[in-house]
């Protein structure tokens, strides 16, 4: 029997797992092929040329497997390669920025939205463009938080150090009277309890995960999981430490996962 085509999900590291969790919830019968480039994470401090080259190395790898769709579950990569990947690939390609922007516009009441993300994402202004395209009179404040991703990648999201770093970094946002804050990096939902504590309960945190999975479902159709159907075969591939990846993935997804190692070329290619 022909193997069912899966959904590929890529990220610079473990951040895309926040999107995977939501895909598993909304589309439980879809097999997922995940790739995290943990060895070269963070992407957020790299140049657009590096981000493009590394992202396409991942795309080349995952597209060796027949796919139904590709989710670029990394805001940094979405900002740089989404349009090009959409043109190149014969399957739907879904990014995380437009879904996040849509969810934030639906949530805000006072029109004051904050966006936190990597340096590359904030520099690209991709969220500001997306938000203002939906609603031109919004007030948008962006803040790069380069120290957040390393905390998550090192599995330190629950520590006192994380609380201190998040609190120090987000202080400038507290005077902006925001009612909505976009977690514009897929790693940040793993820090959500600490972020919420720092910004206070009056601010709604937006993660792109739910809206991205909804967009994916709109492309591939509703999930019709049969009662007796065997659970789908998910595979998680990392370019980094499989043990650390497994620890974070199993905790976040509340299930055991199969993790494989795969090295990507170190050199840049254009
Ligand atoms: N998770 C990624 C994002 O959504 C990027 C983290 C990084 O590699 O800097 O932007």
What's the CA gap between 210 and 231, in Å, rounded? Answer: 21
> How far does residue 44's CA lie from ligand 1's centre (Å)?
6
Is the CB of 73 inside a 6 Å radius of any atom of ligand 1? no
What's the CA gap between 256 and 265, in Å, rounded? Answer: 29
Q: At what angle do helices 97-107 and 209-220 cross, to 10 degrees?
A: 120
Is the CB of 208 inside a 6 Å radius of any atom of ligand 1? no
What stretches in the chain show pLDDT beneath 50? Answer: 269-270
- Write the DSSP string, 194-233: HHHHHH-TTSEEE-SHHHHHHHHHHHH------TTPPPP-
> How far does residue 119's CA lie from ligand 1's centre (Å)?
9
Element (H, E) at 30: none
Rounded CA Rg of the chain: 18
Pocket of ligand 1, candidates 185, 209, 239, 248: which has the most ligand atoms within 8 Å of its Cβ, to mutate? 185
45 Cα nearest atom in ligand 1 = 9
CA angle centred on 191, ends 51 and 238, rounded to 5°: 45
Active-site residue flag, 145: no
Enumerate domains of the chain plus CATH numbers.
6-95+210-267 (3.40.50.1860), 97-208 (3.40.50.1860)
Is the CB of 149 inside a 6 Å radius of any atom of ligand 1? yes
CA angle centred on 251, ends 246 and 255, rounded to 5°: 80
What's the CA gap between 16 and 35, in Å, rounded? Answer: 9
Atom 7 of ligand 1, nearest CA residue: 42
> How far does residue 111's CA lie from ligand 1's centre (Å)?
26
185 Cα nearest atom in ligand 1 = 4
Nearest to 117 by CA among 133, 104, 134, 135: 104
> How far does residue 1's CA lie from ligand 1's centre (Å)?
37
> How far does residue 219's CA lie from ligand 1's centre (Å)?
24
- pLDDT tens across 198-243, in order? 999 999 999 999 999 999 999 998 787 666 678 899 999 999 999 9
Specify the 3-state DSSP secondary structure of 154: coil
Catalytic one of 151, 185, 194, 195:
185
Is the CB of 74 inside a 6 Å radius of any atom of ligand 1? yes
Active-site residue flag, 185: yes
Is the CB of 44 inside a 6 Å radius of any atom of ligand 1? yes
Nearest to 236 by CA among 60, 41, 20: 20
46 Cα nearest atom in ligand 1 = 9
pLDDT of residue 267: 53
pLDDT of residue 188: 98
pLDDT of residue 269: 47
| pTM summary value | 0.95
Is the CB of 36 inside a 6 Å radius of any atom of ligand 1? no
pLDDT of residue 230: 81
């Amino acid at each position: 029997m022909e193997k069912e085509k899966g959904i590929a999900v890529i990220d610079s590291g473990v951040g895309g797992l926040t999107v995977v969790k939501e895909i598993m919830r909304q589309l439980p019968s879809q097999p997922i092929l995940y790739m995290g480039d943990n060895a070269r994470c963070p992407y957020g401090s790299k140049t657009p040329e590096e981000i493009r080259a590394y992202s396409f190395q991942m795309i080349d790898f995952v597209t060796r497997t027949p796919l139904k769709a590709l989710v670029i579950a990394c805001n940094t990569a979405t900002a740089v390669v989404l349009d090009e990947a959409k043109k190149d690939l014969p399957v739907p390609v879904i990014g995380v920025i437009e879904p996040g922007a849509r969810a934030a516009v639906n949530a805000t009441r006072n029109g004051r939205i904050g966006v936190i993300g990597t340096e590359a994402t904030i520099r690209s202004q991709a969220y500001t463009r997306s938000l203002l395209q939906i609603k031109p009179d919004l007030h948008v404040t962006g803040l790069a938080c380069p120290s957040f991703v390393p905390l998550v990648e090192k599995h330190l999201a629950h520590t006192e150090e994380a609380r201190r770093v998040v609190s120090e970094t987000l202080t400038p946002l507290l005077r902006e009277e925001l009612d909505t804050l976009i977690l514009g990096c897929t790693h940040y939902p793993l820090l959500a309890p600490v972020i919420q504590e720092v910004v206070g309960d009056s601010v709604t945190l937006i993660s792109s995960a739910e809206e991205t999975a909804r967009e994916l479902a709109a492309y591939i159709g509703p999930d019709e999981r049969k009662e007796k159907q065997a659970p789908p075969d998910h595979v998680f591939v990392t370019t980094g430490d499989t043990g650390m990846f497994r620890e974070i993935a199993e905790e976040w997804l509340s299930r055991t996962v199969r993790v494989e190692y795969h090295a990507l070329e170190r050199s840049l290619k254009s």
